């Protein structure tokens, strides 16, 4: 994202404008942790598609721990599908970067060395395909965000009309999408008689492994039925639940980190102390000894994934839309309002009866810890950032819970207010009449719907509920229509702050 590009890296009085790099590691203040292994001896075993801040603050840190423990053949080659920003920022610093862990107690800095190289797929697609096809690559992991899967969020099926998919079917050797790269590389492996890599989705999708597997097979079937059959028989797509809050890096973060280091880091990542990774243990091509780095290996990740999506991400999105409309810039600021905090708790409470957790799971404790994490005053996590791509996020975060609650005969007014918040947000005009920069693959369509309906809940709510790729059959349910219309009517009437304040929480 260009807003994350390094701007005016600050000069340090001691080290001038020296850059963080292998050669300069010795200049770091003694307390700053750095790779405890010889990076020149590490070979790549993982290719990661979508090397953004989230991957660098989460999976790359786990791998850094494993490399420190002696697993020298599991280094990461990162790839950006389009933008050269991350590569341009990190290549001059030997792909080293800082993890800044922030809490109310201060910041802990650590240098991460597990990323060995970064490629830009758009520049050299053939090079990335060759790397993926190389049998040394045993895991291909992904954080390409929800929209990167080119699927219909409501059904989980490949969107055959997606422009990138249409392109990739015509141009298998120069794909644009992650799906196109995976399938071309898998086809090469098959022809070469090599075993496939394991595909590890680390995005916030429901049943992310199963979902990416289905999309990959549907795409492959459009190219060759035999290829699709081979993928179905041979390729593992374990599901994962990945959790760490990672706000976008700001120029102020860059300045603060560079000053703590005494060296310039063009793109550090800032995060919270909490981190969690739960992975289904299906890696026929081998895997690092994840458990030694605190990763939980399970046979079925689904309940944990649902728990995270319906408690954490659902309340995050609810706070993002309603908080933004109420004029709060960050999640932590939104949480300082007790009514918003109570509303977030209610979103979680309402999701609880829809979850089937393993015995002994402490949902109340989990929810309490989420509220605490959201309140971390040192994280500047913008409501606007989380509000992005709602059309891709709503189904698994909010709508699945509503569907289940309706099935159970339970009321849906809490989630209806959150969905109404999204509807009010995507009109593109805030409560003061200012424009909202709505980022969403469906932004233009949503805006057109909002313009034709006007700011009238009775017209806008039903019109948006008809967007099938988001709402599916739920959008036609009369209980859904009336709950959302009622919530949106109130939002237009009294505004988000008062709507949340007067919302009856249990
Ligand atoms: C957030 C997530 O941006 C968003 O939509 O809800 O990125 C969230 O911070 C992570 O899933 C936390 O693990």
Residue of 245, 247, 274 to mutate, ligand 1, most atoms within 8 A of C-beta:
245
Distance 54 CA to ligand 1 centre (A): 9
61 within ligand 1 shell (Cβ under 6 A): no
Ligand 1 center from residue 308 Cα (angstroms): 10
pLDDT tens sequence across 55-98: 999 999 999 999 999 999 999 999 999 999 999 999 999 999 99
Cα–ligand 1 centroid distance for 313 (angstroms): 6
Residue nearest to atom 8 of ligand 1 (CA): 245
380 lines ligand 1 (CB under 6 A): no
Residue nearest to atom 6 of ligand 1 (CA): 313
pLDDT tens sequence across 214-231: 999 999 999 999 999 999
Tokens in use for 127?
A: 């090079």
Distance CA(424)–CA(325), nearest Å, equals 8
How far, in Å, is the centroid of ligand 1 from the Cα of 157? Answer: 23
As given in the structure block, the two tokens for residue 204 are 């916030």
Q: Which of 55, 206, 313 to mutate to test the pocket of ligand 1 (most atoms within 8 A of CB)?
A: 313
* CATH architecture of the domain covering 22-298: 3-Layer(aba) Sandwich (3.40)
Burial grade of 328 (CB within 10 A; 0-12, 13-18, 19 or more) = buried
**Could you tell me the distance, in angstroms and rounded to a whole number, from the CA of residue 58 to the centre of ligand 1?**
12
pLDDT in tens, 22-55: 999 999 999 999 999 999 999 999 999 999 999 9
- Residue 20, phi then psi, degrees to nearest 5: -55, 130
The more confident residue out of 13 and 255 is 255
Q: Is the CB of 204 under 6 A from ligand 1?
A: yes
Q: Which H or E run includes 281? A: none
For 464-499, the DSSP string reads HHT-HHHHGGGGG-HHHHHHHHHHHHHHHHH-HHHH
DSSP 3-state percent helix, strand, coil across the chain (nearest 5): 50, 15, 35
Element (H, E) at 380: none
Strands 157-158 and 151-152: antiparallel
**Vertex 149: Cα angle to 234 and 146 (nearest 5):** 130
- Per cent of the chain over pLDDT 90 is 96
Yes or no: say if 297 and 281 are a contact pair by the CB < 8 Å rule: yes
Radius of gyration of the chain (CA): 23
Furthest-apart CA atoms within the chain: distance in Å: 67
Helix (H) or strand (E) holding 48: strand 44-49
Query: Rounded distance, CA 327 to CA 265, Å?
Result: 32
Task: Report the nearest-CA residue for atom 3 of ligand 1.
Answer: 386
Distance CA 291, CA 151 (A): 32
Q: What pLDDT was estimated at residue 307?
A: 98
Place of tokens 């009010």: 424
Stretch 348-372: mean pLDDT, rounded? 97
Does 244 contact ligand 1 (Cβ within 6 A)?
Answer: yes
Residues 6+ apart with CB under 8 A from 417: 318, 322, 343, 487, 490, 491, 499, 500, 503
Mean pLDDT over residues 369-388, rounded? 97
Is 341 touching ligand 1 by the criterion CB < 6 Å? no
pLDDT at 166 over 90: yes
Whether residue 386 has its Cβ less than 6 Å from ligand 1: yes
In this model, does residue 10 exceed pLDDT 60? no
Rounded to the nearest angstrom, the distance between the alpha carbon of 245 and the centre of ligand 1 is 6
Asked if pLDDT for residue 12 goes beyond 60, the answer is no
Ligand 1 touching residue 287 (CB < 6 A): no
Closest by CA position to 203, among listed 247, 246, 276, 142:
142
Q: Higher model confidence: residue 3 or residue 314?
A: 314
Look over the chain and give the mean of its residue pLDDT values, rounded to a whole number: 96
Whether residue 422 has pLDDT greater than 60: yes
Q: What are phi and psi of 75, to 5 degrees?
A: -65, 165
pLDDT-based confidence at 17, cuts 50/70/90?
Answer: confident
Residue 188's pLDDT is 98
Of all protein residues, the one whose alpha carbon is nearest to atom 5 of ligand 1 is 386
Pocket of ligand 1 contains residue 203 by CB under 6 Å: no
2 pLDDT more than 50? no
Q: Counting every residue, how long is the chain?
A: 506
Candidates 317, 504, 315; CA nearest to 426 is: 317
Listing DSSP states for 230-265 in one string gives: HHHHH-----EEEE---PPP-HHHHHHHHHHHTSB-
The 3-class SS string of 176-207 reads: CCHHHHHHHHHHHHHHHCCCCCEEEECCCCCC
Question: Is 243 touching ligand 1 by the criterion CB < 6 Å?
Answer: yes
Q: How far apart are the first and last CA of the chain?
A: 41
The closest residue, in CA terms, to atom 9 on ligand 1 is 245
State phi, psi for 439 to the nearest 5 degrees: -105, 115
- Evaluate if residue 11 carries a pLDDT over 50: no
Q: Where in the chain is the domain with CATH 1.10.1040.10?
A: 302-501
Closest residue by CA, ligand 1 atom 4: 386
Question: How many Å separate Cα 121 from the centre of its chain?
Answer: 20
CATH 3.40.50.720 range(s) for the chain read 22-298
Nearest CA owner, ligand 1 atom 10: 245
Atom of ligand 1 nearest to the CA of 397: 6
* DSSP 8-state secondary structure symbol assigned to residue 81: S
pLDDT at 298: 96
Q: How far apart are CA 140 and CA 143, in angstroms?
A: 10
State the distance from the centre of ligand 1 to the C-alpha of 302, rounded, in angstroms.
18
Determine the distance from the C-alpha atom of residue 276 to the mean position of all C-alpha atoms in its chain, rounded to a whole number. Answer: 14
Average pLDDT over residues 426-449: 97
The SS3 of residue 35 is: coil
pLDDT at 15 over 70: no
Distance 76 CA to ligand 1 centre (A): 23
Q: What is the dihedral of CA 360, 415, 146, 47, to 10 degrees?
A: -20
How far apart are the CA of 459 and the centre of ligand 1, in A?
31
Check whether domain 302-501 has CATH 1.10.1040.10, yes or no: yes
Give pLDDT tens digits for 258-307: 999 999 999 999 999 999 999 999 999 999 999 999 999 999 999 999 99
Residue 9 has pLDDT above 90, yes or no: no
């Amino acid at each position: 994202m260009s807003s994350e590009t390094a701007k005016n890296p600050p000069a340090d009085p001691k080290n001038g404008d020296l850059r963080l790099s292998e050669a300069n590691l010795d200049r770091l203040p003694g307390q700053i942790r750095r790779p405890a292994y010889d990076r020149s001896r590490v070979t790549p075993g993982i290719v990661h598609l979508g090397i953004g801040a989230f991957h660098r603050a989460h999976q790359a840190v786990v791998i850094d721990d494993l490399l420190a423990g002696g697993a020298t053949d599991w280094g990461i080659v990162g790839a950006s599908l389009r933008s050269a920003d991350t590569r341009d920022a990190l290549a001059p610093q030997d792909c080293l970067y800082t993890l800044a862990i922030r809490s109310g107690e201060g910041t802990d800095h650590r240098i991460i060395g597990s990323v060995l190289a970064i490629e830009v797929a758009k520049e050299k697609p053939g090079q990335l395909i060759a790397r993926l096809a190389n049998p040394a690559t045993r895991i291909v992991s992904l954080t390409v965000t929800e929209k990167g899967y080119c699927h219909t969020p409501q059904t989980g099926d490949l969107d055959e009309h997606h422009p990138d998919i249409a392109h990739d079917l015509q141009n298998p050797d120069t794909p644009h999408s992650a799906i196109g790269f995976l399938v071309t590389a898998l086809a090469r492996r098959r022809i070469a008689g090599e075993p496939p890599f394991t595909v590890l989705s680390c995005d916030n999708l429901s049943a992310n492994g199963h979902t990416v597997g289905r999309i990959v097979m549907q795409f492959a079937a459009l190219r060759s039925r035999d290829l699709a059959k081979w993928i179905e028989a041979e390729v593992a797509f374990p599901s994962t639940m990945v959790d760490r809050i990672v706000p976008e890096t700001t120029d102020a973060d860059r300045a603060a980190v560079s000053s703590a280091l005494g060296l310039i880091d063009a793109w550090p990542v800032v995060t919270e102390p909490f981190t969690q990774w739960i992975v289904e243990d299906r890696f026929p091509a081998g895997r690092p000894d994840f458990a030694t780095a605190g990763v939980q290996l399970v046979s079925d990740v689904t309940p944990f994934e649902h728990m995270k999506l319906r408690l954490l991400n659902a309340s995050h999105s609810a706070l993002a839309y309603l908080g933004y409309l109420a004029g709060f810039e960050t999640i932590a600021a939104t949480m300082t309002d007790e009514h918003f905090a109570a509303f977030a708790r209610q979103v979680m409470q309402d999701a609880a009866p829809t979850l089937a957790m393993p015995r002994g799971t402490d949902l109340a404790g989990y929810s309490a810890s989420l509220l605490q994490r959201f309140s971390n005053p040192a994280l500047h996590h913008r409501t606007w950032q989380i509000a992005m791509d709602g059309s891709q996020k709503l189904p698994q975060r909010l709508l699945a819970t509503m569907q289940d609650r309706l099935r159970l005969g339970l009321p849906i007014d809490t989630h209806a207010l959150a969905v109404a918040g999204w509807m009010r947000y995507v009109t593109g005009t805030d409560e003061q009449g200012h424009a909202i920069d709505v980022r969403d693959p469906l932004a233009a369509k949503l805006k057109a719907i909002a313009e034709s309906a006007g700011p009238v809940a009775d017209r806008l709510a039903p019109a948006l509920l008809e967007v099938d790729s988001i709402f599916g059959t739920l959008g036609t349910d009369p209980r859904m229509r009336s709950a959302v219309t009622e919530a949106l009517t109130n939002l237009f009437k009294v505004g988000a702050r008062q709507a949340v304040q007067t919302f009856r929480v249990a």
